[in-house]
Structure 1
Amino acid sequence: MNKMLKIGATTILTLGGAAHAQSSVTLYGLIDAGLTYTNSQISGTGGGHSKWEMTSGAVQYSRWGLRGAEDLGGGVKAIFTLESGFNLNTGQYSANMRLFNRLAYVGLSSRDYGALTLGRQTDSMVDFVAPLSLTGTEFGGTHFAHPLDNDNLNDSFQINNAVKYLSPNIAGFRFGGLYGFSNQAGEFANNRAYSFGISYVAGAWNFGAGYLALSSSARTPAQLNTNGAVTDTTGASLQGALTPTGVPLGVLASSQKTFGAGVNYTFGPAVAGFVYSHTKLSQFFQTGLSGTFQNFEGNIRYALTPAVELSGAYTYSRAGGNGGGGVPHWNQVSAMADYRFSRRTDVYIQGAWQRSSPSGTSPLGVAWINGVTAPASTTNQLEAAVGLKHRF
């Protein structure tokens, strides 16, 4: 009898251990802290003033999260991710009233058929185009973004109520799509989103393209459907810009349509790339005003040694529309040097210079580097940062 009990207990423990081994939950995160100098920012006292400040997320947004998977057999897994962005300097969430303000989804993943997930997620511009741009990577990040992050390549906002599919790698191809519901009765298209993209890797070449569409019926920020697909942003430059509440530009237009494509080529220790994106806003604030942004980015990064990485980008952006304000355009040059102490810890120094060249009386007539607290008082703005990043 005792022998049978021992055998039974051993069997239960063995099965329990096997089941435990097939499931995993991982705590992960990234902390980015540093000091930033800006030569000119508009302040409450008027005019432009230089500014020294301690910053969080000068390159990559500080965040922590939980990632889990359970093996269901046959190459299928149940998966989830919960991720929260925060300001290291204050300990506050980067978006009010959201515990997991960056990502929150659950779904199924198959090695043969791809992944289907539901929740708060990134769009296809972030998934397929951003990795080819320095703003969407650890080699440039926040300050390298295109004006107002108008194409969301720096992941300034995520999509709520989203159903998303990502394919497996099929002979170098990957594709995916997302739909974010408005969650409003009788207003199916009021603050909804949809997005799709594709990538292809062949030897030294890496291609990607994506599309994002937002729609809304809001006439003012107060009328925004706050249960819809897009309702807030972590991007500092959008806070207090054309949308004082911090919601992305496209949510307050009857529609936003963004398209982007890019290519990277690897040769030896270097990677060179080019990215183009186009954003069209229709009937901004339902006033009949429309506008466009076009962005052209050339970038390069070079591994000087296994520990030292150099990167740089030049971006030309132009805006246009029927608002009567002319056609402003921007030139921005950005550079960064990064030194890795280990796989998890590195220090960086970076800088960006932007010049805005407005035409007419455009309200976008001053320089404003993405991630800087306030615009310059003139058409030029210079930013420089030194910081430390740690991953866990």
Structure 2
Amino acid sequence: MNKSLIAGASLIVLAGSVHAQSSVTLYGLIDAGLTYTNSQITGTGSGGHSNWQMTSGSVQYSRWGLRGAEDLGGGIKAIFTLENGFNVNNGQFSSSNRIFNREAYVGLSSRDFGTLTLGRQTDDMVDFVAPLSMTGTQYGGTHFAHPFDIDNLNDSFQINNSVKYESPVYAGFKFGALYGFSNEAGGFADNRAYSVGMSYAWGPLNFGAGYLHLNSAAGTPGQVNTGGAVTDTTGSSIQALLSPTSVPLGALASRQQTWGGGVSYAIGPAVAGFVYSQTNLTQLFQTGLSTHFQNFEGNVRYALTPAVQLSGAYTYSRAGGSGGSGSPHWNQVSAMADYSFSKRTDLYLQSTWQGLSAGGNSPLGVAWINGVSAPSSTNNQVEATVGVRHRF
């Protein structure tokens, strides 16, 4: 009898020990607001109208996810993340054809050797450059993005079929690399992606740089490899302006190259930063035209009190090349004030103005703030949003 009791007690202790070495966490963020826009096109050929609307994710995309880890011993853990984006206005998935559209990966993590993961993941522009841009943080977000989010600093799309490595921090340095497979027999480069990045932190100084390369060898949009690395219908604003059809971003150009870097410096409660990015598009929409976009962003945030955060950004963007006739360029000014009720709940007020200058023959002839549902009928657009965020 005593042996049975001892054995049972041992099993209970062992089960508790095993359970303590693994964990699964449910987490999420809900961002809902009311947005005013001064001018939106309502239909083909129609003029612009002001709009009051409820919006989801004006600063950060609404999401929920599962994150897990199991301690395998020797400083090694098995890890996974499954993350879904959704529209809080109607409860629908933000992507109609996948449950975990934002991230879905599994892998191994070592405190000494870094992390290796496989699945659907963010690229190194998102990981290393976006944290230095206001659009890639909780202090600016969606409406602060550079025109069309062409550099993906607002994480508009993720990479399928990807293998990703991130190093530990060595004397302030960290680096990473990603490769997204095309998964196509006989078409190794047909809709593939690869990316590299690095960061350095030293006291109040932070620096980051990244590079992203996308390939699509399809001759026409209808031939795009839809099982490849990038299959989201994103960059929808530039597609709507430049092409009559909606095609996956992998078909935006036969080759898309994005690189950039940023730096920030903290002085007491203030942080100031600068970010540069450039995106080259070769054979845009398989037309033979090519273009490039450059973005120059200066930003600042200031903790007025422990509960009140002020932030702002100015971005100058320009396009050029045979696909950008008329040499369009954008000026964009964004500002945000945030009040935290607690660590998990805050109220924000933010606004963005965008002005566009373009030649009369440019297809990019109207302003369009990222995250606003339709472009302006003119070369200026203003939005203002009051919203609430809750994290769990």
Same fold per TM (> 0.5)? yes
SS of the residue corresponding to residue 58 of structure 1 reads coil
Structure 1 residues 348-363: aligned runs within 5 Å: 348-363=348-363
Quote the RMSD (CA, aligned, Å).
Answer: 1.3
Cα distance in 2 for residues equivalent to 1:19 and 1:239: 51
Report the equivalent of 2:23.
24
Report the equivalent of 2:38.
39
Report the equivalent of 2:248.
247
Report the equivalent of 1:194.
194
Pick closer, same or farther for the CA change 1:334–1:324 going to 2, 3 Å: closer
Aligned residues: 390
Structure 1 residues 50-61: aligned runs within 5 Å: 50-61=50-61
- Give the C-alpha shift of residue 233 in structure 1: 4.7
Cα distance in 1 for residues equivalent to 2:247 and 2:25: 32
**Do 1:94 and 1:234's aligned partners in 2 also have CA atoms closer than 8 Å?**
no
**Do 1:219 and 1:285's aligned partners in 2 also have CA atoms closer than 8 Å?**
no
Report the equivalent of 2:83.
83
- Give the C-alpha shift of residue 65 in structure 1: 0.2
**Do 2:284 and 2:323's aligned partners in 1 also have CA atoms closer than 8 Å?**
no
- 1:195-231: CA deviation from partner (whole Å, max 9, x where unpaired): 0000000111000000000000234433221100000
Query: Following superposition, which runs of at least 4 residues in structure 1 exceed 6 angstroms of deviation?
Result: none
Cα distance in 1 for residues equivalent to 2:124 and 2:163: 12
Unaligned runs of 5+ in 2: none
Report the equivalent of 1:207.
207
Report the equivalent of 1:230.
230
Unaligned runs of 5+ in 1: none
Q: Calculate the TM-score normalised by the size of structure 1.
A: 0.97
Pick closer, same or farther for the CA change 1:142–1:235 going to 2, 3 Å: farther
Cα distance in 2 for residues equivalent to 1:217 and 1:148: 23
- Give the C-alpha shift of residue 86 in structure 1: 0.4
- Give the C-alpha shift of residue 251 in structure 1: 3.3
**Do 1:161 and 1:228's aligned partners in 2 also have CA atoms closer than 8 Å?**
yes
- 1:77-99: CA deviation from partner (whole Å, max 9, x where unpaired): 00000000000111111111100
Structure 1 residues 1-392: aligned runs within 5 Å: 2-44=1-43, 46-233=46-233, 237=237, 240-242=240-242, 244-245=245-246, 247-248=248-249, 251-323=251-323, 325-392=325-392
Tell me whether 211-220 or 168-177 shows the greater mean CA deviation. 211-220
**Do 1:224 and 1:252's aligned partners in 2 also have CA atoms closer than 8 Å?**
no
Q: Percent of pairs identical after alignment? A: 73
Pick closer, same or farther for the CA change 1:350–1:13 going to 2, 3 Å: same
SS of the residue corresponding to residue 187 of structure 1 reads coil
Q: Calculate the TM-score normalised by the size of structure 2.
A: 0.97
**Do 1:31 and 1:62's aligned partners in 2 also have CA atoms closer than 8 Å?**
yes
- Give the C-alpha shift of residue 324 in structure 1: 6.5
Letter matched to residue 170 of structure 2: I
- Give the C-alpha shift of residue 234 in structure 1: 5.9
**Do 1:327 and 1:360's aligned partners in 2 also have CA atoms closer than 8 Å?**
no
**Do 2:240 and 2:246's aligned partners in 1 also have CA atoms closer than 8 Å?**
yes
SS of the residue corresponding to residue 10 of structure 2 reads helix
Cα distance in 2 for residues equivalent to 1:123 and 1:337: 29
- Give the C-alpha shift of residue 236 in structure 1: 6.4
**Do 2:271 and 2:302's aligned partners in 1 also have CA atoms closer than 8 Å?**
yes
Cα distance in 1 for residues equivalent to 2:59 and 2:228: 29
Cα distance in 2 for residues equivalent to 1:247 and 1:58: 23
SS of the residue corresponding to residue 289 of structure 1 reads coil
**Do 2:291 and 2:324's aligned partners in 1 also have CA atoms closer than 8 Å?**
no
- 1:238-284: CA deviation from partner (whole Å, max 9, x where unpaired): 57444642633x53311000001000100000000000000000011
Letter matched to residue 352 of structure 2: A
- Give the C-alpha shift of residue 326 in structure 1: 1.7
Cα distance in 2 for residues equivalent to 1:196 and 1:233: 24
Letter matched to residue 197 of structure 1: G
- Give the C-alpha shift of residue 235 in structure 1: 6.2
